[in-house]
Chain A
């Protein structure tokens, strides 16, 4: 197995397939010439002249069809595409995941999917965005960002091949930013304020969000205020965000505070991207949300029950060995970290639900087929406990990353590592015993990455990633072989107790290459 697999990958590597997929990496170096950072603020009035779209070939500018500017001159509008083309080649030790290590359940050893490999080669994580900066108007700077990748939903009847060949477009960002003297406004689809978005993402070749990382985009209306004292910047923000449950009737509330000191900065990369010169920073953010679902009956009438979710996250970026310019990032060492805890916030961890669902309804009428509960909320956020009360599911996670740029070629070689641990202290108590094998209570992840900048824009990275899940059930208690165990042992065994917690692991090798523009 190994020789054949390695051989196959050697061929892949030789053909220079670098790679990668699924969720994302963010913001890139606003300092890198020629690139646009969707998070960066651009003074559109400073945009270079002639940044308008090029004239159609064969026509001079006067003949080219032009849409009249809404105000100002067309040339005052700053329009710039950005993004990257990327290839990811992945080898998994199990058949548990799609492109990204989404927190699905890892297939167990002893099952077909748990004992067989999966190879993924995809360019779906390529990305295209457009940044538009409008001319200043009455002291208001305004800009818009629209960004896509190729992770759109595929039809349920699409073949596996089709999902890779077609790569349906997905909206990643679509937001307006207004900058005024009083407050800044972000309106649209953008990173959640909870977790502070891309400011604290770790460096990794793996798809972000990695397990345990708050990584979520949402439609929102956000107000931001920055205050500067020299190189110290304090930023506060509040946001009304599309709710975790549409039928809760009210938006989620998010708020955050971030402090950064730009006099102490280091190289920091968000996922697999180009590094920024990032200041030492700490951020605190929170989320509060409401859930309301029908009463736990087959026909609830209009009776509803409600509960609330909330969470807090503390994020930090620490340049252990600072640098002055991103162009020479030799010997830069930066540590990132995030701690988050909360309840009813599983969706903030990139689609995680831990396997939790609503339980089956009791069926006193013995209807066949049995009654169904009409849930109106995504799974993994809330469920009904053994007293049939609505409860939210707790999660706690810590993510710690480190990245180091070797003193070779100005930091063209870099290494990065990441560890995360995600756990829930009540998901098992909120799950009936026969379903304990379908949930995980803990997930540990770590990766090591090595990257090389072939050119300032083209990057090659390799990565090893491993994730282990601990399930709710346990292995069978050791039997007395050859004897009838029950009467002899005489010790009742509650399902899910008495043995070693069942677990499964997926190991992944990944090779990625991208050109950033």
Chain B
């Protein structure tokens, strides 16, 4: 039977926590710590026929990802993973307050674009396709609107200043703009250049007026493709070709498909992603 697919409440509710602690204390005193509650319990693995067809996430049929933290890449050892002999590796560090943005006094104040960092981008759309020849493909789209926070120091310490045209390339005689609007134009171009970050807008930060907040939309799509095999009545194995095999338990009810990474594995090797609850993709109208 198909289970209802709800994202479990993170284990932070007081009642649940107290119950869990009381249970742990009662039963497990000498030896056992009760395990943490995962956010994404496994979905049904009833098996069924091969899930041939096109499947999509639809309203009310969520994906579920664990609440992980994936730190931004430390740039200090890029392309130099090993420090020189007898030199200790750098101390662990927090990320850059400027998010790697470097501003300058020139016409284009963005000397180096920032890292478009966002955390825990939810999977807002997804499609999974299985064909009858043993091939599969998955498109997983993380979506959301996020904000970059640039402190005043990052915006101004290196020479950028208010009162210059916002778009000196296309409108060199434009009205004077603050540094946030000056940053918006190149930042928008950088986001589009990376392919996933759109509609960037910048404004002064109300709590740090000399700094800027820049909002941007994320539509980041990716996913594996390759061949698949039926491992047993309840389990598929994906063979992405460019990655290790991935086992997935499934429950195919004809118009609904539930996928869960087997044995705690991440689904489609996407970090944190545990489950998909899919429905048949609507058939496109005939041309």
Q: In the complex, which residues 344-392 of chain A have their Cβ closer than 8 Å to any Cβ of chain B? A: 356-364, 366, 368-373, 375, 379, 383-384, 386-388
Task: Tell me if B74 and A363 are in contact (CB < 8 A).
Answer: no
Q: Could you give, for residues 1-44 of chain A, a 1 whenever the CB lies within 8 Å of some chain B CB and a 0 otherwise?
A: 01001100100110000000000000000000000000000000
Interface-lining segment among A75-83, A213-221, A403-411, A480-488? A480-488
Is there a chain B Cβ closer than 8 Å to A434's Cβ?
yes
Contacts of A435 in B (CB 8 A): 71-72, 94-95
Distance, CA A154 to CA B188, complexed state (A): 51
Which residue from B96, B141, B213 sits with its C-beta under 8 Å from A359? Answer: B96
Task: Tell me if B17 and A481 are in contact (CB < 8 A).
Answer: no
Distance, CA A494 to CA B57, complexed state (A): 26
Residue in chain B with minimal CB distance to A115? B264
Task: Tell me if A466 and B21 are in contact (CB < 8 A).
Answer: yes
Task: Tell me if A486 and B36 are in contact (CB < 8 A).
Answer: no
Contacts of B149 in A (CB 8 A): 433, 494
Task: Tell me if A505 and B36 are in contact (CB < 8 A).
Answer: yes
Q: In the complex, which residues 140-171 of chain B have their Cβ closer than 8 Å to any Cβ of chain A? A: 141, 143-147, 149, 151-154, 157-158
Residue in chain A with minimal CB distance to B266? A110
Interface-lining segment among A59-67, A141-149, A189-197, A467-475? A467-475
Distance, CA A368 to CA B79, complexed state (A): 9
Which residue from B144, B217, B218 sits with its C-beta under 8 Å from A477? Answer: B144
Task: Tell me if A448 and B32 are in contact (CB < 8 A).
Answer: no
Task: Tell me if B153 and A386 are in contact (CB < 8 A).
Answer: yes
- What is the minimal beta-carbon distance from B7 to any residue of chain A, in angstroms? 8
Q: Could you give, for residues 451-478 of chain A, a 1 whenever the CB lies within 8 Å of some chain B CB and a 0 otherwise?
A: 0000000000011101010010111111
Is there a chain A Cβ closer than 8 Å to B177's Cβ?
no
Is there a chain B Cβ closer than 8 Å to A438's Cβ?
yes
Is there a chain B Cβ closer than 8 Å to A242's Cβ?
no
Task: Tell me if B97 and A492 are in contact (CB < 8 A).
Answer: no
Q: Could you give, for residues 87-118 of chain B, a 1 whenever the CB lies within 8 Å of some chain A CB and a 0 otherwise?
A: 00011111111111010100000011001011
Task: Tell me if A386 and B208 are in contact (CB < 8 A).
Answer: yes
Distance, CA A383 to CA B121, complexed state (A): 28
Task: Tell me if A360 and B33 are in contact (CB < 8 A).
Answer: no
- What is the minimal beta-carbon distance from A387 to any residue of chain B, in angstroms? 6
- What is the minimal beta-carbon distance from A143 to any residue of chain B, in angstroms? 40
Task: Tell me if B143 and A482 are in contact (CB < 8 A).
Answer: no
Which residue from B56, B69, B119 sits with its C-beta under 8 Å from A108? Answer: B69
Q: Could you give, for residues 59-87 of chain B, a 1 whenever the CB lies within 8 Å of some chain A CB and a 0 otherwise?
A: 11111011111111011111110000000
- Are A462 and B97 CB-contacts (below 8 A) given A363-B75, A366-B112, A494-B147? no
Distance, CA A109 to CA B151, complexed state (A): 33
Which residue from B35, B56, B71, B217 sits with its C-beta under 8 Å from A434? Answer: B71
- What is the minimal beta-carbon distance from B197 to any residue of chain A, in angstroms? 10
Q: Could you give, for residues 33-71 of chain B, a 1 whenever the CB lies within 8 Å of some chain A CB and a 0 otherwise?
A: 111111110000000000000001111111101111111
Is there a chain B Cβ closer than 8 Å to A325's Cβ?
no
Distance, CA A495 to CA B100, complexed state (A): 16
Q: Could you give, for residues 6-26 of chain B, a 1 whenever the CB lies within 8 Å of some chain A CB and a 0 otherwise?
A: 010011100001000100110
Task: Tell me if B112 and A108 are in contact (CB < 8 A).
Answer: no
Task: Tell me if A495 and B69 are in contact (CB < 8 A).
Answer: no
Task: Tell me if A362 and B57 are in contact (CB < 8 A).
Answer: no
Is there a chain A Cβ closer than 8 Å to B174's Cβ?
no
Contacts of B133 in A (CB 8 A): none
- Are A438 and B71 CB-contacts (below 8 A) given A373-B93, A484-B124? yes
Contacts of B264 in A (CB 8 A): 115
- Are A6 and B32 CB-contacts (below 8 A) given A109-B39, A500-B12? yes
- What is the minimal beta-carbon distance from A384 to any residue of chain B, in angstroms? 8
Distance, CA A44 to CA B234, complexed state (A): 78
Is there a chain A Cβ closer than 8 Å to B219's Cβ?
yes
Distance, CA A433 to CA B151, complexed state (A): 11
Tally of contact residues, A, Cβ under 8 A: 94
Q: Could you give, for residues 256-283 of chain A, a 1 whenever the CB lies within 8 Å of some chain B CB and a 0 otherwise?
A: 0000000000000000000000000000
Distance, CA A57 to CA B214, complexed state (A): 82
Q: In the complex, which residues 95-114 of chain A have their Cβ closer than 8 Å to any Cβ of chain B? A: 108-111, 114
Task: Tell me if B31 and A493 are in contact (CB < 8 A).
Answer: no
Task: Tell me if B12 and A503 are in contact (CB < 8 A).
Answer: yes
Task: Tell me if B97 and A493 are in contact (CB < 8 A).
Answer: no
Task: Tell me if A484 and B141 are in contact (CB < 8 A).
Answer: yes
Is there a chain A Cβ closer than 8 Å to B274's Cβ?
yes
Residue in chain A with minimal CB distance to B218? A486
Contacts of B70 in A (CB 8 A): 437
- What is the minimal beta-carbon distance from B19 to any residue of chain A, in angstroms? 13
- What is the minimal beta-carbon distance from A416 to any residue of chain B, in angstroms? 13
Task: Tell me if B32 and A495 are in contact (CB < 8 A).
Answer: no
- What is the minimal beta-carbon distance from A49 to any residue of chain B, in angstroms? 46
Contacts of A13 in B (CB 8 A): 30-31
Task: Tell me if B95 and A434 are in contact (CB < 8 A).
Answer: yes
Which residue from B10, B11, B57, B219 sits with its C-beta under 8 Å from A482? Answer: B57
Residue in chain A with minimal CB distance to B274? A110
- Are A368 and B29 CB-contacts (below 8 A) given A359-B94, A432-B95? no
Task: Tell me if B96 and A476 are in contact (CB < 8 A).
Answer: no
- Are A110 and B66 CB-contacts (below 8 A) given A359-B96, A501-B12? yes
- Are A509 and B58 CB-contacts (below 8 A) given A108-B66, A364-B158? no
Task: Tell me if A438 and B63 are in contact (CB < 8 A).
Answer: no
Is there a chain B Cβ closer than 8 Å to A502's Cβ?
yes
- Are A448 and B94 CB-contacts (below 8 A) given A111-B68, A495-B119, A500-B12? no
- Are A494 and B146 CB-contacts (below 8 A) given A388-B153, A466-B24, A479-B122? yes
Which residue from A12, A92, A370, A438 sits with its C-beta under 8 Å from B69? Answer: A438
Q: Could you give, for residues 213-238 of chain B, a 1 whenever the CB lies within 8 Å of some chain A CB and a 0 otherwise?
A: 10101110000000000000000000
Task: Tell me if B96 and A387 are in contact (CB < 8 A).
Answer: no
Q: In the complex, which residues 225-279 of chain A have their Cβ closer than 8 Å to any Cβ of chain B? A: none
Task: Tell me if B151 and A5 are in contact (CB < 8 A).
Answer: no
Is there a chain B Cβ closer than 8 Å to A421's Cβ?
no
Task: Tell me if A500 and B122 are in contact (CB < 8 A).
Answer: no
Distance, CA A9 to CA B32, complexed state (A): 9
Task: Tell me if B75 and A437 are in contact (CB < 8 A).
Answer: no
Is there a chain A Cβ closer than 8 Å to B131's Cβ?
no
Is there a chain B Cβ closer than 8 Å to A489's Cβ?
yes
- What is the minimal beta-carbon distance from A353 to any residue of chain B, in angstroms? 10
Contacts of B67 in A (CB 8 A): 108-110, 475-476, 502
Is there a chain B Cβ closer than 8 Å to A514's Cβ?
no
Which residue from B10, B36, B104, B208 sits with its C-beta under 8 Å from A114? Answer: B36
Is there a chain A Cβ closer than 8 Å to B138's Cβ?
no
- What is the minimal beta-carbon distance from A506 to any residue of chain B, in angstroms? 6
Distance, CA A508 to CA B34, complexed state (A): 8
Contacts of B57 in A (CB 8 A): 481-482
Is there a chain B Cβ closer than 8 Å to A496's Cβ?
yes
Which residue from A110, A503, A506 sits with its C-beta under 8 Å from B272? Answer: A110
Which residue from A89, A446, A466, A494 sits with its C-beta under 8 Å from B33? Answer: A466
- What are 5 A-B contacts with C-beta separation under 8 Å? A109-B38, A114-B36, A434-B72, A505-B17, A505-B36
Beyond contacts A359-B95, A364-B102: 6 other A-B pairs, Cβ-Cβ < 8 A, are A5-B32, A108-B69, A358-B93, A462-B29, A482-B58, A485-B145
7 closest Cβ contacts across the A-B interface? A110-B66, A437-B69, A507-B33, A93-B33, A479-B122, A9-B31, A476-B120
